[in-house]
Chain A
Amino acid sequence: MRKRVISIVLIFVMTFSFSITAFADGDPNVDGGGGGMGSGTSTNSWTPGMDGVRVSIVNVETGSVMGTPIDYTNKTPSSSIIHFGKKSKIHYSNGSSLAPAVGGVYSYINPSPAMPTVISSGGSSNIEAVKRYFCTDGAARMIANDMGISFETLTNGRYKLLLEPIAYFKFEGNQVGMTAHEAALYDQQLSGGLRSKMASLSHQNLPLAMFLERPDLGFSAYSGATSGRQSNDTILAYLGMGIVSYTELPDEPDPDPGQADVEYRINTEVITAVTLNASREINPDSPARVTFTILGRTYTMSNIVIPEGESQLVWCKWTTPATEQTITITVSTSKGYLSENTITAKIVDLDKNPPPDPKADDRNDSFRAVSSPNNPQKTSARWTVWWARWHPFWVWIPNWVWHSSYPSGGYWCDHGWWEDQGWYDFFTDIYTASLTASSTVTPDGKVPTASGNTMKSGYGVNNKVTSSFSSNAPNSHVTGAQTAVSYFPEFGYRTYWRLLDLITRGYSSQLEFKKNQYSTYNQRAHFSPVWYPNGTYQVYTYLMDAWTPDGMLSMNLNSSVNIQGSVFDDWHIAPK
């Protein structure tokens, strides 16, 4: 039976079963308190129906967004609007920062026929109608036309649509428009200031309007709660997105019960992170402490504070063992609840498959060059840390006592005291990290006839990888890039690889080939095959193991030399 799995799930959260006109939280002019109703005259309000969808076309192979996303809405947003530009979740995941657009035009499109309501505020869910709308031939042709590409190109299977719900609402007196991802980023910027006023929209109805039921385009499926307010970390990682594919989706592979949760390399400094959720406020009076137990050693993260309903990435920094093995990491917390309590980590040794000894009579007449790989890469990371400061609110508790004076009279004296009825204010520190790197492949120094970057086949090449890891975070949050693996065109960038030596450790790390056991001079070289045809000899290198709490940073690197002739051209046999 043909299995058509819809990769988007549109969940319309019903918080009220009766008709309302506007939502606003934390506004004294609004009835009902959090998630209550307002008349639309408050400084924080949302009118049901003021929603839309940001549509991005994503290249399946590269994972990049083509062109500029388009915002579709049935409504007319305020003529003067604050927004954050046309960025998708992919842009933000790739390191774009949240910044309001300054002036200019905020363009939107009213589609015909109109879209179903995206962010429901009451009544029954119309999830099927929304799914159906975006999967139709009519919607695909409209989107293709609006994007300026042909319908055939859009639907040839190389592209997918990334959908993100948008809410148009009033926040702190400004008319704003933002996706769920942007709302979570903005809330982090305001240390919870958006959630405190608009939680039922920004952290519930908007993000839960769409999420993936299966992993796609590098994003994880969501299997958490489909109601209630969500944390910023959950929204950023899982919520507020749907994906439309135009090709038959492959059957989901059965999960391997023995599959590890994470894979590390031996002798590598790594960050293992989980999420700590707080259903109740965790404050400095009694902060949380998370304990990681790895190979009998205990690592802790202490002084963790989280406002109610939010979450915090917690982690430990440790060095993997020197031998291959599969280990179980156990995680426990003194407060809140963790995303995982056990992590199965596979520790692998990549230095087990170097290319074989090249021979002078090696041949490969059927060789066809293939494109170098394009592995998933992550070159930037972003994470936040909650911290709290006591907000004193001293209230005088009076206790008047009459003091009599002899022989008559007296006076009142206040024997009261100050009572601190304060609270904790929570703030977020935002940390970022980025990785840049280069690979430089050059003819080996022992090649006698190399000229610049041109050499004859059969000689060796060197590869110098330099990386630069920059971050505003403390050392306990990050590591520099530590591992690089090179793949070669003669093996189709598969089969054999070389693990590079970490020559210089740190945030500006340098790596080179290991010394080649087949090199007469013990050079850090890889020998190009003597049969390699004239042209570009490109070495592909995957740089990785630059760790942050937001995951590992990695990069695809390519560099090449030019092959002209072969080593046989440099040698001849002459009679004495």
Chain B
Amino acid sequence: MLKNKKTITVFGLSAFAIILVVVLMAMSQPAKQTDALNDTDILASDVTPSEIDDTAPIAITPEVKPSEITTPEPTAETKANDIPLTVIAEKPEAPELPDTAHSDEPHDEVTDPALTNPAVTPSATPKPVEPTKEAETTPNGGDTNSKGEVYVPGFGWIVPSTAEGKQSGSDGDWDKIIGN
């Protein structure tokens, strides 16, 4: 009896296992087909008409009509289409304060008579500061050097040409119009 029960249990479990395997295989069948299609790297030009399986599933790409194309907002995505023509540089910082300027730090005892006469407001003013002014070493246009060259802005030292003219004319009719 015990042996029969054992046998029934073994057969029952085996049958369940077989059914389970069959069900799982049936469920996994479509996935296998898809993989097979994906693994087959066939270029359109490699397919001949005779090789086309009419029964195979055909992937259809939905046709996008022009009217359905949405215009992207000009946000960060469209920044790739921007050409910055120049580089905008920061403006330079202000120069150091002059000695006569107010400072939070304690001053030395002021002895300059120009700064200690309450009746006369000082007039000393620092000169304007122009840090990017071109150096005075650049020659002026028209300057000449020992080689007989003149300084031409944009091109440097150039030997000028000598102008030579001549007269010309013709015995043609200067009243007859032939051109337009």
Given the interface contacts A300-B82, A387-B86, does A138 sit within 8 Å of B167 by beta carbon? no
Nearest A residue (CB) for B156: A100
Residues 414-433 (chain A) with a chain B CB within 8 angstroms: 414-416, 418, 420-421, 425
CB of B126 within 8 A of chain A?
yes
Verify A413–B163 contact, CB threshold 8 A.
Answer: no
Verify B169–A102 contact, CB threshold 8 A.
Answer: no
CB of A330 within 8 A of chain B?
no
Give chain B's interface secondary structure class. loop
CB of B145 within 8 A of chain A?
no
Stretch at the interface among B3-11, B23-31, B50-58, B88-96: B88-96
A401 vs B173: C-alpha distance when bound (angstroms): 86
B71 contacts which chain A residues (CB < 8 A)?
A: 296-297
Choose among B69, B86, B115, B175 the residue with the greatest number of A CB atoms under 10 Å from its CB: B86
- Proximity string of chain B (80-123) to chain A, C-beta cutoff 8 Å, 1 when within and 0 when not: 01111111110110110110111000010010001110100110
Nearest A residue (CB) for B82: A300
Verify A43–B130 contact, CB threshold 8 A.
Answer: no
User: B165 CB to closest chain A CB, in angstroms?
Assistant: 5
- Proximity string of chain B (152-180) to chain A, C-beta cutoff 8 Å, 1 when within and 0 when not: 11110011111111111111111111111
Verify B165–A109 contact, CB threshold 8 A.
Answer: yes
B158 contacts which chain A residues (CB < 8 A)?
A: 82, 100, 102
Verify A416–B86 contact, CB threshold 8 A.
Answer: no
A305 vs B88: C-alpha distance when bound (angstroms): 9
Residues 248-290 (chain A) with a chain B CB within 8 angstroms: 248-249, 284, 287
B76 contacts which chain A residues (CB < 8 A)?
A: none
Verify B153–A6 contact, CB threshold 8 A.
Answer: no
Verify B94–A145 contact, CB threshold 8 A.
Answer: no
Verify B116–A106 contact, CB threshold 8 A.
Answer: no
A415 contacts which chain B residues (CB < 8 A)?
A: 101-102
Verify B78–A43 contact, CB threshold 8 A.
Answer: no
- Proximity string of chain A (78-92) to chain B, C-beta cutoff 8 Å, 1 when within and 0 when not: 111111000000000
B166 contacts which chain A residues (CB < 8 A)?
A: 107, 109-110
Residues 446-480 (chain A) with a chain B CB within 8 angstroms: 476
Stretch at the interface among B13-21, B32-40, B136-144: B136-144
A389 contacts which chain B residues (CB < 8 A)?
A: 89, 132
Verify A303–B102 contact, CB threshold 8 A.
Answer: no
Given the interface contacts A103-B159, A303-B84, A409-B116, does A137 sit within 8 Å of B169 by beta carbon? no
CB of A498 within 8 A of chain B?
no
Verify B153–A300 contact, CB threshold 8 A.
Answer: no
CB of B74 within 8 A of chain A?
yes
Given the interface contacts A141-B172, A172-B141, A400-B121, does A135 sit within 8 Å of B179 by beta carbon? yes
CB of B125 within 8 A of chain A?
yes
Given the interface contacts A174-B150, A284-B88, A396-B125, does A109 sit within 8 Å of B167 by beta carbon? yes
Interface residues of A (CB under 8 A from B): 4-7, 43, 72-73, 76-83, 99-113, 132, 134-142, 145-146, 151, 155, 161, 171-175, 186, 189-190, 193, 244-246, 248-249, 284, 287, 291, 296-305, 312, 314-318, 385-396, 398, 400-402, 409-416, 418, 420-421, 425, 476
Known: A82-B160, A138-B171. 11 other contacts (CB 8 A): A77-B163, A81-B160, A111-B169, A136-B174, A136-B175, A151-B172, A161-B179, A174-B152, A284-B88, A284-B89, A415-B101
